[in-house]
Amino acid sequence: MLERLRSFPIVAILGPRQIGKTTLARQVGRRFPRATHRLDLEDPADLNRLTDDPGLVLRELRGLVVIDEVQRAPDLFPILRVLADRRPLPARFLVLGSASPDLIRQSSESLAGRVVYYRLGGLDPWEVGFHRLPRRWLRGGFPPAWLARSNSAATVWLESFIRTFLERDLPELGVRVPGPVMRRFWTMLAHWHGQVWKASEFGRSFGLADTTVRRYLDILTGALVVRQLPPWHANLAKRQVKAPKVYLRDTGLLHALLGISDMRSLDVHPKSGASWEGFVLESIVDRLGLPDQHAYFWAAHSGAEVDLLIGPDTARIGVEVKRTTAPKVTRSMHTAVRDLGLNELILVHAGQQSYRLADRVRAVAATRLDRDLGLGLWPRL
């Protein structure tokens, strides 16, 4: 994070509310070599100061300026652009937001070339320990849910988060969809988790037009609670899937929307396999800090597929996720390795051992991801 601040006048940390953005900003502030000033736009006093005359307030500050919940004041972005262009630069800005740049009005246009974005995910298995993998999978990565005294207490917190998100956070972003409607959409999307998006089919089930459900999907994606994993289109003589896959980014929210509150219920739920797949993929993407242009899935209508395709043409790695203790090489995997020219296909499974399955196909135990994933390969992507 300090390296980003040395390279850009503005760094934006993006992530859902209570994911840990403020904690990370405090850690950065303690290590920053100059004074740190913090403005929290959920504090009416700070919000009023920056609403009345933001230029007057911000021009006087030196060192690191942290602005929390910046989506509450999108009109700040033109001022930040002016301040970022000063030479010499007296201050750098660390802004924290609960939505993507596309959902925060004016940000991408006003700060182009002056800002670098960092998306903060939840607690990952590397942080909490792989011996606690089931708990992390069940409760998700929000620190309050993870630290709850019991699974039932975690579920209560997650339900409260969902209500607050629908009733307060989305309206603050200018979303005018009624909370109960969006709650029903989000719940239906939880049942769609891990599947290829089909707007017409989803729209019929929801009772709305394709364009409307597509807009709802984009809203939740922009609010950083849903991932649309884009398809990779290889130059192959076969029909390929061209719609994105949809995942709820946090498995705790997924399970709360599905009514799952303990491991016993999760193990027998029809979405257990899809939940596990999303959990592993999100953990890998977050850990590697993959930008959207380096993370895809690939699927052909013949049935061959790769859950996660990482990297540009020069170093392409595939990831398949199976909730099984006895992984096997399938015809689909051989097809993907051959047709996509994969350097390696990694099969993440629920067993205890990691080993070579075939040429360019390796089985990696989910509980040994920290040791056996081969992270040394990834920075070259």
Query: What pLDDT, in 10s, does the model give residues 231-264?
Result: 988 776 567 888 999 999 999 999 999 999 999 9
Report pLDDT for 378. Answer: 47
Report pLDDT for 312. Answer: 63
Instruction: Answer whether the bond into residue 88 is a cis peptide, omega within 30°.
Output: yes
Q: Which residues pair with 231 in a beta bridge?
A: 297
CB contact at 8 A, 68 and 25: yes
Report pLDDT for 377. Answer: 45
pTM above 0.85, yes or no: yes
CB atoms within 10 A of CB 163: 12
Angle between helix 199-206 and helix 210-222 axes, rounded to 10 deg: 100
- Percentage of residues in the chain with pLDDT exceeding 70? 94
DSSP 300: B
Report pLDDT for 222. Answer: 92
CB contact at 8 A, 332 and 358: no
Report pLDDT for 326. Answer: 93
Mean pLDDT of the chain: 90
Report pLDDT for 1. Answer: 83
DSSP 112: T
Report pLDDT for 149. Answer: 97
CB contact at 8 A, 233 and 306: no
Rounded-to-integer distance, Cα 334 and Cα 23, Å: 44
pLDDT < 50 regions, the chain: 376-381
Q: What are the DSSP calls for 206-268, one per residue?
A: HTS-HHHHHHHHHHHHHTTSEEEEPBP--S-SS-B--S-EEEES-HHHHHHHHT--SHHHHHH
